[in-house]
Every structure is written in C-alpha cells, then in structure tokens.
Amino acid sequence: MKKIIDARGLACPQPVVLTKKGLEESEQLTTIVDNSAAVENVTKLAKSKGCTVQLEEKEGDYYLHISKSCCDVLSPNEEQEKAVVLITSNLFGQGEEELGKTLMKSFLYALTQVENIKQMIFMNSGVFLTTEGSEVIESLKAMEESGVEILSCGTCLDYYGLKDKLAVGEVTNMYTAVEAITSASRAVTL
C-alpha cells in the first residue's frame, strides 16, 4: 500500500526524518512538501537509498513520489560501522549566533534518527549543550538511551564553571577523547 507523508509547514529535518521512517514501512510513498529546500533534501535521502523519485508540482506544493522497489537496503546482518562525533562549539558553523543555535538543535535532533553513532564528545563551548539550561538535552538523552555514549570534557566544564551542572552523559578527559577519535573508523568534527 502506498503511504502518504504530509510534511508541509515542517522545518528541516522533519520532512527527511518522516520520509526515512516511511521508507522503512512502505515500498512506495509520496512525501508532500511546500518548499524547494525540502524537495532537495528528501530527494537526496531517497536517492541515497537507491530509490527512484518523481516530482509533481500542484498548486505550490511538491509531491515526491518515491519508489523503493529498487532500493539498495542493508540487511540486518550488514552492521554499519559506528562513528564518533566531536562537537567543539555550542553553535553550528560560523555566522549569526541565532542561526548557529537553530542549526545545532536541528543537527542534534537529526542525529537521534540515525543508528550509526557510537560516541559524542563535547569540548570547549560544546559543553554548554550537555549542561543544565541547554535546549538540546532531550535529543542528547534520547541518543544516550539508544546506546550513544555522551562525553563532556572535564577541563572545559571546569573552565566554564559547569561541572556541577552536567545534565547528560559523563565527564571525560583529552586522552580518552583522542583515543576514541583516532580509533574510530569514522569521526565527524564540528
């Protein structure tokens, strides 16, 4: 049965996350979005899974008809190697602070939807994300509950006066962080 996902009005990465879940449940689906960025993002996801995508525009909305019949899906036995993610700032990228906060929140939420993360290490101002008052604590707790190890630099927590405010994960040191990063098959640094 063909599944329909109405992602109009949803912020990034919601259309992609919903489409990914839809692909896990159905051979064919249609994702409806209302902006060109969402069209590009959903199309990239579908094509990365080996699916075909047909785009139809109706009254300002975009209908992405996705067929999984040719998808190259991993079997449960083909376990992907897990990555280590190093986050060195409470902002994603450089530029406007408000945009950096929004992008980081979106990035961390998107990470809750993937299963190939082993550890997340927070250094420098990145430790603000793991402490009381952080807007991303729920995403980090969800990752921790799914088995992702959340580690915050003890020196960094001390420097910012946050050691007693750690809200998720554990305290780590530079040696442990370096060991994790250099022994990982894949490492991502922000």
Q: Which helix (H) or strand (E) holds 155?
A: helix 154-159
Structure confidence at residue 78 (pLDDT): 37
Structure confidence at residue 168 (pLDDT): 95
Superfamily of domain 83-189: DsrEFH-like (3.40.1260.10)
CB-based contact 70:90 (threshold 8 Å): no
Rg, C-alpha atoms of the chain: 19
Structure confidence at residue 157 (pLDDT): 94
Amino acid at site 137: I
Structure confidence at residue 1 (pLDDT): 63
Q: Where are the domains of the chain?
A: 3-67, 83-189
CA distance 12 to 156: 31
CB-based contact 175:155 (threshold 8 Å): no
Instruction: Report CA-CA distances (Å) from 111 to 17, 119, 170.
Output: 10, 11, 19
CA distance 172 to 132: 18
- Beta bridge partners, 106, equal none
CB-based contact 169:66 (threshold 8 Å): no
Amino acid at site 185: S
User: pLDDT tens digits, the chain, 190 residues: what are they?
Assistant: 688 999 999 887 788 889 888 888 888 899 999 988 788 878 878 887 788 899 999 999 999 999 876 544 444 433 457 889 999 999 999 889 999 999 999 999 888 888 888 899 999 999 999 999 999 999 999 999 988 999 999 889 999 999 899 999 988 888 778 888 888 888 778 7
Instruction: Report CA-CA distances (Å) from 77 to 80, 103, 151, 188.
Output: 9, 34, 29, 24
Which CATH number does 3-67 carry?
A: 3.30.110.40
CA distance 34 to 38: 7
